[in-house]
């Protein structure tokens, strides 16, 4: 009996492994660090999976691959599996990832979701839809082919049988083997039939097939008589069948009856020893190919396939901005792929720019360098020689026209130049960097970061000198620099480095001698020797020479200095023509359908149509209709068959896409909706905070991030906030956006874990029903911290992750002044915080920096305008400079036309104005003493509280006293928070009042200075809220950050409104109001809700036993110091005494007609009696409920009861109303707030405040809400008065107008708008590891 030839996978795999080993060694010639990395993710402990994975690891190690076996427990959650895969996706040493199937998991897990989560560039199993799609479309080179089909193909090829023209049958249609095998054979020109369990006449089909591939998982299903004589049979099955004669009691067989089929087949694969070994070796082949792509091996073997855009130069050449706008840039991700930068090596900042990681240089460490060309010029002249233009033009020529890989490297332009005399600096004409606006505005924030870092150092210098001067006692200064924390004193790393420089070989603070203490503490900086200046990225001549430290608190520490324009980092971004832009033609459906019709028409014209037709041709199909119709049961005609259905299906697909876009159906039938409110917890978890994926009724599909519980000791020592943040691997923000229904076109990535959300989303959801609106506020704050941010996050986690309610948390962006000052981070805390914590607290998406830049541009414009008006006594000369002749013409711009309109000058031609009209148009005559607009920095810098500017020779006679505020105190921040969109923001910016005319007393606005629209340009991206996530993976909007004691202290209207629409009618938007209810909540209701028109459903008031004790008379506390015993021992009477403050805040909330839920944050020292006393008193004071919360320690699970109370309270009718009408007098509005909210008996306005109120009323500006600027530390104006004082008279020292923001703010007492730094600020302990980029010390 003759048998077919056995196609041994074992021997073929052996020879292929030898070839792979040789390739690895060959690759190391190009890069000595070359080492392919393979990671296998296994869930559970299935014995068969253990064997398979062990074999893969063994082969990988034999080939000198890095082999990583990630074995997860059976109780793992889907979120943890996804998090593990994300970590491997980001690991540059791993080039191939497979998820071992089946997943042996006790929870329900979406296998497809897990395999799809693998980076397509590392998907060496070839299962990702992107790789599967490439194979289906015939792309066999750029993606990964699944290992088993690829191994089968190699086995077939080894038989010597030619595939082309052969008939092939694939039995089985799985995504892993059958379907990809069919595609692979098809693209090798075989004629393929796929058979499966529903196939009829399968035996007859197989009997007529030249090549048979079987993959069904059923032992010996294919019998010998099925096989065509001389066929090639590939058996992918592996099944165990009982066999008492075998040593193990079973033997392995395939899906084919090997003995019977071998009698008829020419070639056949055995089981075992056939496909199995080839599958493993193909896995290694795919991993090796992935690693070669990663290491760019061979490094110099290819020219970039960077597609260039056609350029059609016009004559004369249009303006630079017009040229820029004629081109549609390529997405920067596409360009990165074209030039060989991997997705893991860059972070997107919007669609058209990206930060490139230095990991790229590590990967290319052995790459041979290209030619290095520097472009320079002659000594510059005002005519411009065009160096930047030449740099870009040359790179375009080399890359797009001469087929040479070329990079242009340019500096980032300063905004001082952009808004000064030169304008943009991106090159010019048809040789420039695009988009031009993004190149010249903010870019990726490097200059802003440098400005912030520079000014932090400058503030540290003056602060250190002040504290050394004010602390004559060395030991007192030493105690402040090296304080006792939790009973210990120790040096940090920077202090140890100072000791080393001083040659003091000691590491314990107690060991230093008095002399060593003096040398350690005192820098004794000579003020005249300081060379470090503060910087702004604004052309501001009045800061060339200034005097700082003129405030009373800085007495004796003033000095003269200058402020420079911020210097920029070199930022590498591509140029034009094959660098940054690609062509996309925008078409509509009608055009597309017409093009399709025309294509059909051209095809028809080529047909042989013998019958005469009116048009000279007729349409026929690929089938002889008449002949075939005689035998067919059913047949489609041409035309009138498939054609109309194709068009209808196109419309169907378009309709379904539109319904997804418009979120239709917007609301699901609530009665039939399915909830998951109870989450099964794995038994092996001590803290049951893991939760499974769930689909919410309004469409949120939120996969939670699995939380690692803290290890408790007797004292419950919890990890620091930064440690908790690092235990979590955040979801990619693109994934979260998809889960909550935000489309990719509606957000721009800023790195991997945050994104700006476009206001186009609100247009799409314009008809969406709103969710419940919850404001989180608190009692009057104490240094102990009540935990409002933590409660906001914890409550949102409870509602979203544990109670199956769509929920958004809306928070303000923290100031870096606070981050590096006394408080540290502000992302919530413990297991209820926003992550990544570092990104939340540092720069975020640049909104504060943009506000700083815009604020200071306006400040510079004010002083510059006064200087030029003073220096130009001739009105006509000043007019000529303001309205210059350009190319033979003079014309007003839009802001100048608006000024003419305000002046009631109905003329549009510059030549038509009279001398008197010219004078009124040109001269603002700003009264320097009336200026209320200050410069800002996002740095705590007390020496800038009071300064003298304009001391330079060129500004002689134009000096004045001024000050800097912290950036978040800028009116622009309040404008951002209260704007409804960009147009509303622009109008508000135009209305900003900066001072008054010294003759008429009329207000002078930003629009009068012709700078308002430039400010809006700087602020254009700030209107988009930033999407982030909590520790448990629920969504957060971070937007705006106005101070609550001098502004209204709430996040933006835009963020809240978007959140309310996204969550739907059963969902919740949980937004935080700053400081206590008397400050932030009052302004939330009277200002924010009045402006937005949104009606809140309830208020959550946060309190703690410790804080109530302070209001009840417990001793004062200081941050970082040991708490007095009163705070750690039971004292119910003291708690009851301090409850007066909470009672007043409950009363305040109820004045606005909303229900109140009290969130009582539990601390370790709280007793049951104290907690129950607060609950009893709160309910008696009118609270709907009072709930004990533990979300700091337990995450959302610790706030479930709070969430349930909020759900019940939100079902109550809300009778929301504002506290006062806008049309009553200013003083009466102030009195209403003081008496009803603070508990005052009356108010007392100073003469200055009375005059201001009279002025606003006379100017018609009085119908605005009131934003009280008072201390947040007391209900009264005295910070030390705790509890709920009554009967006091509230003094109003002064009054200011924020007309752009839309409120009047009375000043109660002295309010500092620029915090100072302590002797030992937070920045002392903040460090970064340059290798891992890990930040420590950030709270």
- Among all residues, which ones are annotated catalytic? 56
Report H helices in 309-432: 320-326, 332-338, 359-363, 387-396, 415-418
DSSP helix/strand/coil, 147: helix
Question: Which pair of structure tokens corresponds to residue 1072?
Answer: 């935080």
The phi and psi torsions of 536 (rounded to 5 degrees) equal -135, 150
Q: Length of the chain in residues, anyone?
A: 1339
**Beta bridge mates, 73:** none
Instruction: Write out 1129-1150 in H/E/C secondary structure.
Output: CCCHHHHHHHHHHHHHHHHHHH
Cα separation, 1052 vs 1063, in Å, equals: 17
A 10 A CB-CB count for 139 gives 13
Secondary structure in 3-state letters for 8-42: CHHHHHHHHHHHHHHHHHHHHHHCCCCCCEEEEEE
Tokens found for residue 478:
């030493």
The strand order across the sheet containing 960-962 reads 559-561, 546-548, 947-949, 960-962
CA pair distance 1280, 179, nearest whole angstrom? 75
Query: Is the CB of residue 365 less than 8 Å from the CB of residue 33?
Result: yes
| CA gap 881, 875 in Å, rounded | 10
- Taking Cα atoms as reference points, which of 988, 1181, 1152 lies closest to residue 1078? 1152
- Rounded distance, CA 701 to CA 510, Å? 56
Q: Give the 3-state secondary structure of 1080-1142.
A: HHHHHHHHHHHHHCCCCCEEEEEEEHHHHHHHCCCCCCCCCCCCCHHHCCCCHHHHHHHHHHH
Cβ proximity of 785 and 1010 under 8 Å? no
Neighbours of 868 (CB within 10 A): 14
Query: Residue 1100 in contact with residue 1071, Cβ under 8 Å?
Result: no
Following CA atoms 180, 181, 186, 191 in sequence, which dihedral angle do they give, to the nearest 10 degrees? -140
Q: What DSSP string runs through 498-520? A: HHHHTT-----GGG--HHHHHHH
The answer for 199, left when phi > 0, alpha when psi is -120 to 50, beta otherwise, is: beta
145 in Cβ contact with 135 (< 8 Å): yes
Sign of the CA dihedral 589, 595, 599, 605?
A: positive
CA distance 44 to 126: 23
The neighbouring-strand residues paired with 1124 are none
Rounded Cα–Cα distance for residues 935 and 932 (Å)? 10
* Cα-based angle 1071, 1073, 1077 (whole degrees, multiple of 5): 130
- Whole-number Å distance between alpha carbons of 1191 and 1200: 9
How many other C-beta atoms lie within 10 A of the C-beta of residue 532?
12
Q: Can you give the three-state secondary structure of 766-835, one letter per residue?
A: CCCCCCEEEEEEECCCCCCCCCHHHHHHHHHHHHHHHCCCCEEEEECCCCHHHHCCCCCCCCEECCEEEE
Q: How many CB atoms lie within 10 A of CB 273?
A: 17
């Amino acid at each position: 009996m003759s048998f077919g030839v056995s196609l041994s996978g074992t021997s073929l795999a052996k020879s292929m492994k030898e070839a792979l080993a040789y390739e690895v060694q060959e690759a190391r010639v190009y890069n000595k660090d070359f080492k392919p990395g393979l990671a296998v993710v296994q869930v559970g402990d299935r014995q068969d999976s253990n064997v398979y994975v062990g074999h893969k690891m063994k082969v990988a190690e034999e080939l000198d691959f890095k082999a990583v076996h990630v074995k997860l427990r059976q109780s793992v959650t889907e979120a943890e599996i996804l998090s593990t895969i994300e970590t491997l996706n980001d690991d540059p040493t791993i080039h191939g990832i497979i998820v071992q199937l089946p997943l042996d998991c006790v929870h329900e897990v979406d296998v497809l979701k897990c395999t799809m989560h693998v980076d397509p560039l590392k998907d060496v199993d070839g299962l990702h839809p992107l790789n599967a799609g490439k194979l289906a479309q015939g792309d066999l080179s750029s993606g990964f082919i699944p290992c088993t089909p690829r191994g089968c193909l190699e086995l077939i090829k080894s038989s010597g049988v030619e595939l082309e023209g052969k008939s092939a049958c694939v039995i089985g249609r799985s995504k892993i083997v059958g379907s990809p095998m069919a595609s692979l054979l098809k693209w090798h020109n075989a004629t393929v039939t796929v058979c499966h369990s529903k196939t009829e006449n399968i035996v007859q089909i197989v009997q007529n097939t030249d090549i048979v591939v079987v993959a069904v998982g059923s032992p010996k299903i294919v019998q010998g008589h099925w096989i065509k004589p001389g066929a090639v049979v590939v058996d992918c099955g592996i099944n165990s069948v009982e066999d008492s004669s075998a040593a193990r009691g079973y033997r392995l067989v395939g899906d084919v009856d090997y003995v019977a089929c071998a009698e008829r087949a020419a070639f056949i694969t055995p089981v075992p020893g056939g496909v199995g070994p080839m599958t493993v070796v193909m896995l290694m082949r795919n991993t090796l190919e992935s690693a070669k792509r990663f290491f760019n091996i061979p490094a110099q073997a290819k020219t970039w396939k960077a597609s260039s855009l056609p350029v059609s130069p016009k004559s004369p050449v249009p303006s630079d901005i017009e040229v820029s706008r004629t081109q549609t840039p390529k997405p920067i991700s596409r360009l990165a792929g074209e030039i060989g930068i991997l997705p893991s090596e860059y972070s997107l900042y919007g669609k058209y720019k990206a930060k490139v990681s230095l990991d790229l240089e590590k990967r290319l460490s052995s790459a041979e360098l290209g030619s290095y060309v520097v472009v320079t010029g002659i000594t510059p002249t005002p005519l411009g020689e065009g160096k930047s233009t030449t740099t870009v033009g040359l790179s375009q020529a080399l890359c797009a026209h001469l087929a040479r890989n070329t990079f242009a490297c340019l500096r980032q332009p300063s905004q001082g130049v952009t808004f000064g005399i030169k304008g943009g600096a991106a090159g010019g004409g048809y040789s420039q960097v695009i988009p031009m606006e993004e190149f010249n505005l903010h870019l990726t924030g490097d200059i802003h970061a440098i400005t912030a870092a520079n000014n932090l150092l400058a503030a540290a210098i003056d602060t250190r000198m002040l504290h050394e001067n004010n602390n004559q006692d060395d030991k007192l200064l030493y105690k402040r620099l090296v304080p006792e924390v939790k009973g210990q004193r120790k040096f940090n790393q920077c202090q140890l480095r100072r000791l080393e420089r001083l040659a003091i070989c000691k590491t314990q603070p107690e060991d230093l001698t008095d002399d060593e203490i003096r040398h350690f503490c005192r820098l004794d900086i000579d003020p005249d020797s300081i060379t470090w200046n503060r910087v702004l990225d604004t052309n501001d001549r009045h800061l060339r020479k200034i005097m700082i430290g003129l405030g009373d608190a800085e007495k004796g520490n003033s000095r003269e200095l200058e402020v420079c324009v911020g210097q920029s980092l070199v930022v590498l971004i591509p140029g034009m023509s094959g660098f940054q832009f690609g062509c996309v033609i925008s078409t509509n459906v009608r055009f597309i359908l017409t093009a399709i019709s025309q294509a059909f028409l051209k095809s028809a014209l080529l047909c042989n149509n013998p019958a005469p037709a009116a048009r000279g041709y007729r349409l026929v199909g690929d089938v002889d209709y008449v002949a075939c119709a005689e035998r067919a049961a059913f047949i489609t005609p041409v035309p009138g068959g498939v054609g109309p259905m194709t068009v209808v299906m196109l419309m169907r697909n378009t309709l379904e896409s539109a319904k997804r876009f418009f979120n239709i159906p917007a609301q699901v039938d609530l009665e039939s909706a399915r909830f998951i409110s109870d989450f099964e917890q794995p038994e092996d978890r001590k803290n049951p905070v893991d939760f499974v994926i769930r689909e919410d009724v309004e469409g949120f599909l939120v996969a939670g991030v699995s939380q690692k519980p803290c290890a408790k000791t007797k004292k419950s020592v919890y990890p620091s906030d930064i440690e908790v943040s690092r235990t979590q691997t955040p979801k990619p923000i693109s994934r979260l956006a998809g889960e909550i229904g935000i489309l990719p076109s509606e957000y721009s990535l800023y790195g991997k874990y945050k994104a700006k959300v476009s206001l186009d989303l609100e247009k799409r959801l314009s008809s969406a029903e709103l969710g419940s609106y919850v404001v989180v506020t608190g009692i009057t704050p104490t240094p102990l911290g009540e935990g409002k941010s933590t409660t906001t996050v914890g409550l949102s986690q409870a509602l979203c992750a544990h109670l199956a309610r769509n929920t958004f948390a809306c928070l303000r962006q923290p100031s870096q002044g606070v981050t590096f000052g006394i408080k540290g981070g502000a992302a919530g805390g413990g297991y209820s915080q926003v992550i990544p914590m570092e990104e939340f607290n540092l720069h975020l998406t640049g909104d504060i920096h943009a506000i700083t830049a815009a604020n200071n541009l306006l400040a510079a414009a004010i002083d510059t305008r006064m200087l030029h008006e003073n220096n130009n006594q001739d009105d006509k000369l000043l007019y000529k400079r303001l309205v210059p002749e350009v190319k033979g013409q003079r014309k007003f711009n839009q802001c100048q036309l608006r000024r003419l309109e305000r002046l009631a000058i109905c003329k549009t031609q510059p030549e038509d104005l009279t001398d008197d009209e010219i004078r009124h148009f040109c001269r603002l005559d700003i009264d320097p003493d009336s200026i209320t607009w200050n410069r800002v920095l996002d740095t705590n810098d007390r020496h800038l509280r009071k300064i003298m500017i304009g001391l330079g020779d060129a500004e002689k006679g134009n000096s004045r006293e001024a000050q800097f505020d912290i950036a978040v105190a800028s009116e622009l921040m309040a404008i951002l928070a209260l704007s409804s969109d960009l147009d509303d923001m622009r109008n508000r910016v135009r209305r900003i009042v900066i001072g008054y005319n010294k003759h008429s007393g009329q207000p002078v606005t930003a629009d009068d200075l012709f700078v308002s629209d430039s400010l809006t340009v700087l602020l254009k991206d700030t209107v988009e809220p930033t999407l982030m996530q909590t520790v448990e993976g629920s969504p957060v909007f971070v937007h705006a950050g106005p101070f609550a004691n001098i502004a209204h202290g709430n996040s933006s209207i835009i963020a809240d409104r978007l959140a309310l629409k996204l969550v739907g009618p059963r969902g919740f938007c949980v937004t935080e109001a700053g400081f206590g209810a008397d400050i932030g909540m009052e302004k939330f209701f009277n200002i924010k809700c009045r402006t937005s028109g949104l009606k809140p459903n309830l208020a959550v008031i946060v309190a703690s036993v410790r804080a109530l004790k302070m209001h009840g008379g417990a001793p004062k506390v200081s941050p970082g110091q040991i708490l007095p015993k009163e705070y750690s021992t039971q004292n119910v009477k003291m708690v009851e005494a301090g409850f007066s403050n909470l009672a007043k805040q409950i009363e305040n909330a109820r004045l606005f007609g909303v229900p109140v839920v009290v969130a009582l944050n539990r601390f370790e020292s709280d007793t049951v009696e104290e907690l129950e006393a607060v609950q009893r008193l709160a309910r008696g004071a009118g609270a709907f409920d009072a709930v004990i919360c533990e979300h700091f320690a337990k995450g959302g699970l610790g706030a479930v009861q709070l969430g349930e109370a909020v759900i019940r309270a939100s079902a109550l009718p809300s009778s929301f109303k504002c506290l006062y009408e806008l049309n009553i007098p200013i003083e009466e509005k102030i009195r209403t707030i003081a008496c009803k909210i603070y508990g005052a008996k009356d108010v007392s306005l100073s003469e200055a405040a009375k005059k201001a109120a009279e002025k606003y009323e006379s100017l018609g500006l009085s119908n605005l809400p009131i934003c009280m600027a008072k201390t947040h530390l007391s209900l009264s104006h005295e910070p030390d008065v705790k509890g709920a004082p009554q009967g006091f008279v509230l003094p109003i020292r002064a009054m200011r107008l924020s007309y752009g923001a839309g409120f009047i703010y009375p000043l109660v007492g002295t309010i500092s708008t620029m915090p100072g730094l302590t002797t030992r600020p937070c920045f002392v302990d903040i460090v970064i590891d340059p290798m891992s980029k890990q930040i420590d010390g950030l709270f």
